[in-house]
Amino acid sequence: MIVGIDLGTTNSLISYFDGEKAVIIPNKLGKHLTPSVISVDKDNNVYVGETARERKSTYPDDTVSVFKRSMGTNKVFHLGEKEFSAVELSSIILKSLKEDAEAYLETEIEEAVISVPAYFNDAQRKATKKAGEMAGFIVERIVSEPTAAAIAYGLDKKNADTKFLVFDLGGGTFDVSILELYHNIMEVRAVAGDNYLGGEDFTQVLVQMFLREKELDEKDIDRKTMSHIIRAAELCKMGFADSKTSVMKCKIGDEVYEYEVNEDDYEASCQILLNKIKKPVERSLKDAGIKLKDIDEVILVGGATKLSIVRRFVSRLFGRIPNTSINPDEVVAVGAAMQAAMKERNEAVKEMVLTDVCPFTLGTEVCVTRQGGYKEPGHYLPIIERNTVIPVSRTERVYTASDNQTNIRVQILQGESRLSINNVYLGEINVPVPIGPEGKEAVDITYTYDVNSILEVIVKVVSTKVTKRMVIKNEETDMTDEEIEERLASLAELKIPPREQEENKLLLFKGERLYEEAVGDMRRLIESRIMEFESVLDTQDKLKIQDAREVLKEFFESIENSEEL
């Protein structure tokens, strides 16, 4: 039997398909939701779920949560004297779910389909797969959370050509997916999101409102007390489900503090978070090449969508009441179970065909020729654009950039920035080339990406036929907090050249953002315009810079004005 698992930031669930429908498996406490919290005591006993969450209030140093946000990184979590990675912590949650399922079904469970946020990168997806394997599962399929949700809803649809927008706001991540159902095919058209936006952030808003109201300094509050405050804020947030006001109550030292919050004030304080929701929505619609009016149905997924301020915001944003007919907390697990049934070729669902997309652009580093013939390295050449339907294979040909070049180094990168240094490094291949003049020798670079997030890179020298191949098994490549601080410190010591004057800086940053949001021909056009402007900046001629700035500004405004929903 194959089970479906929603490995969530705040809560996790496990499910199976009973031959007719998806069923959520209760945990040892008889509940569907298992909090993604782990605690370890001095005797090395491990507590998982609700027990661990309760223990967090009294033993905050021995308890950890929200570790899903650190999947695919080197971050280490300290629980007492023990150290854990996010992968190890996730494997503990998955092992607990496995035990619950085996006890409930009275059979051994060997395989699982595990869901991940649509915007998880390659490292994060592989980390999730590794966690499943450490828990004792065979994990051959990773499914995106919004895709799983659309499966849960889409299987009940009878009409062809139904377009869905899946709005997935969980405890720690936010995803938007555009999907289309026609005949028996569910096709993902586009995905976008924010891995650092979720219900936990809405809880933190209440925490900060409370601290300001009571004139408390977070630096003076110990971790145990702060844990109580966060818990009180979470309960206060839930209280808005039944009332326009909610009370936050907690004990600090010998004093009990009460804070009554009006929902309108809370909503006003959450505006920054709510506004962050708009960008992924706009990007997903643009990448899918469709207008909001073409969407037949908006589906809400994730526990944070139960917040009334979120639902009102979504209703205003889309101009309609979203569909919540399946419990937002459970819909991903339902879809994961259906995906597991498809993999088993279950009679009830075997006719459904599912396509997915590559959530990030994959490419390599190249040199570009600036005015005057100057070769500038460090530019990004997209090979597989984000939101390309997978499996996919693409080939690009690049040439030697200098005379007497003896080898070509192909850096394998993932990301949306036009500069290679700002993208994620996955690996590299070096191939020897015959010595000759610039541009004579060439290599064909082929990227192949499949539904299991496996990237194969083949580099072939055109003249000699020498070929090298690499299958990317990306390790943890994200920078640690210390590395980021060191990087910022080194940048702060640099002198600011004229090109970094405020107006020019603002325009260049806008250009970088628009480049990252664009694809195809528009991306290349933006790249060209930015390079033209940079060349004018290099002249340090104020009048020329001013004229070029106005031209580029109008160009960017024309792009933004054409991107309305």
How many alpha carbons fall within 13 Å on the CB side of residue 328? 22
Asked if residues 417 and 434 have their Cβ atoms less than 8 Å apart, the reply is no
DSSP state of 85: E
Pinpoint the alpha helices (H) of 25-181: 50-56, 86-105, 122-134, 145-154
Strand partners, 260: 247
Return the minimum-mean-pLDDT range out of 155-159, 277-281, 304-308, 393-397: 155-159
Mean pLDDT, residues 301-319 taken together? 92
Instruction: Tell me how far apart the alpha carbons of residues 289 and 298 are, in angstroms, rounded to a whole number.
Output: 17
pLDDT in tens, 236-277: 999 998 899 999 988 787 788 999 999 999 999 999 999 999
Joined together, the tokens standing for residue 312 give 């009102």
In the three-class reduction of DSSP (H, G, I as helix; E, B as strand; rest coil), residue 467 is classed as strand
pLDDT the model gives residue 351: 56
Joined together, the tokens standing for residue 537 give 């900046």
- Residue 289 C-alpha from the chain's centroid: 21
When pLDDT is cut at 50, 70 and 90, the band that residue 452 belongs to is low
Mean pLDDT, residues 537-552 taken together? 87
Instruction: Tell me how far apart the alpha carbons of residues 344 and 350 are, in angstroms, rounded to a whole number.
Output: 8
Mean pLDDT (the chain, rounded): 86
Instruction: Tell me how far apart the alpha carbons of residues 230 and 407 are, in angstroms, rounded to a whole number.
Output: 56
pLDDT in tens, 33-74: 999 999 888 877 888 888 888 888 778 888 999 999 899 888
pLDDT in tens, 188-197: 888 888 888 9
**CA angle in degrees (0–180, nearest 5) for 155-160-163:** 80
Instruction: Tell me how far apart the alpha carbons of residues 565 and 556 are, in angstroms, rounded to a whole number.
Output: 17
pTM over the 0.85 mark: no
DSSP state of 306: G
Angle between helices 502-517 and 542-561 (to 10 degrees): 30
Burial environment of residue 528 by CB neighbours within 10 A (0 to 12, 13 to 18, 19 or more): exposed
Mean pLDDT, residues 86-92 taken together? 93
**CA angle in degrees (0–180, nearest 5) for 432-435-438:** 105
When pLDDT is cut at 50, 70 and 90, the band that residue 485 belongs to is low
Q: Write the DSSP assignment of 167-190 as a string of letters.
A: EEE-SS-EEEEEEEEETTEEEEEE
When pLDDT is cut at 50, 70 and 90, the band that residue 508 belongs to is confident
158 has pLDDT over 60: no
CB atoms within 10 A of CB 65: 21
Distances (CA, A) of 369 to 398, 508, 526: 13, 19, 16
Beta strands in 283-335 (DSSP E): 297-301
In percent, the amount of the chain with pLDDT more than 90 equals 49
Q: Single out the residue of 285, 328, 362 nearest to residue 517, CA to CA.
A: 285
How many alpha carbons fall within 13 Å on the CB side of residue 114? 31
Name the most confidently modeled range: 230-234, 502-506, 511-515: 230-234
475 has pLDDT over 60: no
Instruction: Tell me how far apart the alpha carbons of residues 339 and 336 are, in angstroms, rounded to a whole number.
Output: 5
Asked if residues 85 and 75 have their Cβ atoms less than 8 Å apart, the reply is yes
Q: Single out the residue of 552, 549, 554, 553 nearest to residue 539, CA to CA.
A: 549
Residues in Cβ contact with 415 at an 8 Å cutoff, skipping those fewer than 6 apart: 360, 361, 380, 422, 423, 424
